[in-house]
Amino acid sequence: MSSPSSTLDQPLPFVWPEGKRAAVSLSFDDARPSQVDAGLLILDRYGIKATFYLSPPNIEQRLEVWRNAAAHGHEMGNHTLTHPCSGNFVWSHANALEDSSLERIEQEITSASDTIRDLLSVTPTTFAYPCGQKYVGRGESLQSYVPVVARHFIAGRGFRDETVNNPSFCDLAQVMGVDSDGHAFESLQAWIDRTVKEGAWLIFCSHDVGDFPRQAMPVDVLDALCRYCADAENGIWIDTVASVASYIHQQR
């Protein structure tokens, strides 16, 4: 028999809304045209709201469609103005985090929010770290910019992380994001089933939607994923990063 003290020491399970057993968020990076050309049709078919982390220069290619998506409840998040990553990527060598500073990255972030607000009439409340990298500088001068993100947003999402988010413990300024590009549905279902078992929060991270050589979720996989998450029998709350993060914040 457990003693009264050991029973009281057991953490209470996190309570998701409406009796759901776990939460899943679908997120897409860079404002790529295929997201609105192919992805929105599937999401809207199942009544699912997703989070789009926008690179502002890409928005104008499909401006009216992005405005309509925002007006219909899809989340428009911040992904910086110019997508700075490590200079080890050839395409980011002239825009390297190693050569940046906290002041510069904060300007990147606030300028992106201002541009998104001007174009779409919404203010981003969550952020996605480009390439999942959370630092500026190098060596002994390296600094985390997680505190900058915490100052401006209710949540900051990582990329290519290795686990799901414990809603009672996770740092909302750097929640885990699982790469969902290029995977069969069965692989993504395994992640979802694990999330339900743990009562956790899973955030999928994708880029293009369709038949692309890399960084893409095939249309049939997105359809199967939405159908599975929308099935009430599976006990999943599927909603935007902002909605789930706000709920977790309130429950704490």
User: Which tens digits make up the pLDDT trace of 178-207?
Assistant: 999 999 999 999 999 999 999 999 999 999
Predicted confidence at residue 9, as pLDDT, reads 52
Is residue 11 domain-resident?
no
Predicted TM-score (pTM) of the model is 0.94
Which tens digits make up the pLDDT trace of 104-141?
999 999 999 999 999 999 999 999 999 999 999 999 99
Q: Tokens 């599976």 appear where?
A: 234
Count Cβ atoms below 10 Å from residue 78 Cβ, excluding itself. 27
| Cα–Cα dist 52/26, whole Å | 9
Q: Which residues pair with 135 in a beta bridge?
A: 144
Quote the CA–CA distance of 118 and 239 in Å, as a whole number. Answer: 25
Q: Using an 8 Å Cβ cutoff, are 73 and 48 in contact?
A: no
- Cβ pair 206, 243 in contact under 8 A: no
At residue 165, φ and ψ (nearest 5 deg) are: -100, 125
Supply the DSSP string of 127-152, one letter for each residue: EE-GGG--EES-GGG-EE-HHHHHHH
Q: Is residue 158 part of a domain?
A: yes
Tokens of residue 236, six digits: 């999943």
Short-list 245, 162, 199, 195, CA closest to 11:
199
Is 3 part of any domain? no
Which pLDDT score is estimated for 13? 83
Query: Count of domains in the chain?
Result: 1
Q: How confident is the model at residue 8 (pLDDT cuts 50, 70, 90)?
A: very low
Residue 202 lies in a domain: yes
CATH assignment of the domain containing 173: 3.20.20.370
Domain of 115?
18-251
Q: Is residue 2 part of a domain?
A: no
Going from the C-alpha of 144 to that of each of 32, 147, 233, the distances in angstroms are: 28, 7, 41
